[in-house]
């Protein structure tokens, strides 16, 4: 009986040793991901303002669908103005106006209820509160080395995972990719980045007079 108990104890200790040996590498990947995201976030927040020209691509391989469109983002603090194709997204820091041209709809919501990932840089802004980070690997992307980090939302969202690529040397954002639960991916690829530019304050206000005969959906 004593021998059996010792065998069980040894088995438990051995399992614990295997677990302890496997856990540290996993945690190191998480810590590295968190550190890389922190560096990128701090760098982004250090800019007084920014302008980003990007390409937005929606893809679903199972449905044989892919569409790309050009976009531009102006941001200053928690305010932003973003054009994506013929769609427009504006926020004064408190309210978000989303004009969807194809649907001829304007959605109005409070900024605090808007999910991460709406703009190319939004997942960097509050990543430490909304996501768990994990470093995946370093790879070559269009002639530069990039660090790949996956972000998993702490709370359920429309997107179950975000992937972020940072320039390995500068920690600047190269692209972000969101994954939905139906096989769709949504990618912002950064084409040009201009920090600390002058942006007129009226850029961050939405003019209802410019949009007539559209359906307004106020979710505030």
Distance from C-alpha of 186 to C-alpha of 68, rounded to nearest angstrom: 10
Nearest residue to 80 (alpha-carbon basis) of 173, 192, 206, 188: 206
Structurally, what CATH architecture does the domain formed by 2-218 represent?
A: Clam (2.50)
Domain locations in the chain? 2-218
Count of CB atoms situated within 10 Å of the CB of 195: 14
Prediction pTM value: 0.81
Dist. CA 12–CA 45, nearest whole Å? 48
Tens of each residue's pLDDT in the chain, 220 residues: 434 333 333 333 334 444 445 557 788 999 999 999 999 999 999 999 999 999 999 999 889 999 999 999 999 998 999 999 999 999 999 999 999 998 999 999 998 887 666 899 988 887 888 899 999 999 999 999 999 999 999 988 889 999 999 999 999 999 999 999 999 999 999 999 999 999 999 999 998 888 888 999 998 8
């Amino acid at each position: 009986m004593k021998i059996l108990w010792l065998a069980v104890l040894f088995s438990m200790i051995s399992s614990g040793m295997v677990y302890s040996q496997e856990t540290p590498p996993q945690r190191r990947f998480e810590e590295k991901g968190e550190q890389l995201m922190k560096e990128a976030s701090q760098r982004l927040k250090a800019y007084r303002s920014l302008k980003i020209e990007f390409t937005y691509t929606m893809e679903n391989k199972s449905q044989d669908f892919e569409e790309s469109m050009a976009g531009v983002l102006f941001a200053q603090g928690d305010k932003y103005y973003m054009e994506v194709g013929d769609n427009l997204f504006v926020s004064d820091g408190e309210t978000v106006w989303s004009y969807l041209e194809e649907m001829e709809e304007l959605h109005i919501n409070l900024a605090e209820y808007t999910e991460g990932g709406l703009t190319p840089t939004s997942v960097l802004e509050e990543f430490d509160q909304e996501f768990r980070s994990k470093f995946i690997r370093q790879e070559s992307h269009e002639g530069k080395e990039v660090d790949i980090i996956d972000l998993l939302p702490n709370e359920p969202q429309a997107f179950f995972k975000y992937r972020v690529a940072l320039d390995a040397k500068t920690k600047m954002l190269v692209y972000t990719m969101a994954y939905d639960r139906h096989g769709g991916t949504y990618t912002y690829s950064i084409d040009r980045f201009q920090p600390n530019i002058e942006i007129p304050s009226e850029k961050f206000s939405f003019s209802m007079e410019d949009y007539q005969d559209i359906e307004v959906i106020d979710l505030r």
